[in-house]
Amino acid sequence: MSPPIAPSTFSLAGTVIAVGGVELSGFADGDVLTIEPNGEAFNITVGADGTVARASTGNSLFKIGLSLLQTSPYNAKLSQTYLSDTGSPTGLVYPFLFKDLNGLDVFTSPAFWVNSVPKVGRGNKINNHEWPCYAAMGKLFLGGNGPTPKAF
């Protein structure tokens, strides 16, 4: 019988989310970061006789969602990133990092940009700013944050 495995615990406080070397904070409730591939890694073709072939798409683009409270001062960093990029004739991109310091999850990109500004609402409650972003040449490794199995 195997010994019991201690429970794994994730804490956002044990992560780094940084744009251009600046660590962000003031996150909204719920999912503060989403990372989604912008397409498949391969185009697959199955021939009439069942032969399978694949062609690499070369796609390393990821959709990134960042969710900050409207009160977070780091909205200014993302606003500055967007305005600098759209105000430059050649565009400006920034490095991006997500790292779970208590686990193995990591995402890096040398070319991150804010694609548009978030929808803004103001009233008698604190709202979220959902920043739609992209990251080219992204590298995503999902390793969890529990003990690494001995088989690895």
DSSP 2-43: PPPPPPP---GGGEEEEETTEEP--BPSS--EEEEESS-SEE
Nearest-CA neighbor of 68 among 128, 10, 109, 16? 128
Say which residue the tokens 């940009």 belong to: 113
Cα-to-chain-centroid distance, residue 51: 36
Q: Beta strands of the chain (E only): which ranges?
A: 15-19, 22-23, 33-37, 42-46, 52-56, 62-69, 94-100, 106-114, 128-136, 139-141
Q: How would you label 41-50 residue by residue, b for 16+ Cβ within 10 Å and e otherwise? A: eeeeeeeeee
On whether the CB atoms of residues 113 and 81 are closer than 8 A, the answer is yes
All domains of the chain in start order, with CATH: 14-141 (2.40.30)
Dihedral of alpha carbons 144, 145, 148, 152, sign: positive
On whether the CB atoms of residues 19 and 81 are closer than 8 A, the answer is yes
Is 86 in a helix, a strand, or coil? helix
**pLDDT tens for each residue of the chain, 152 residues long:** 666 667 788 889 999 999 999 999 999 999 999 999 999 999 999 999 999 999 999 999 999 999 999 999 999 999 999 999 999 999 999 999 999 998 899 999 999 999 999 999 999 999 999 999 999 999 999 998 866 666 55
The whole model's pTM is what?
0.88
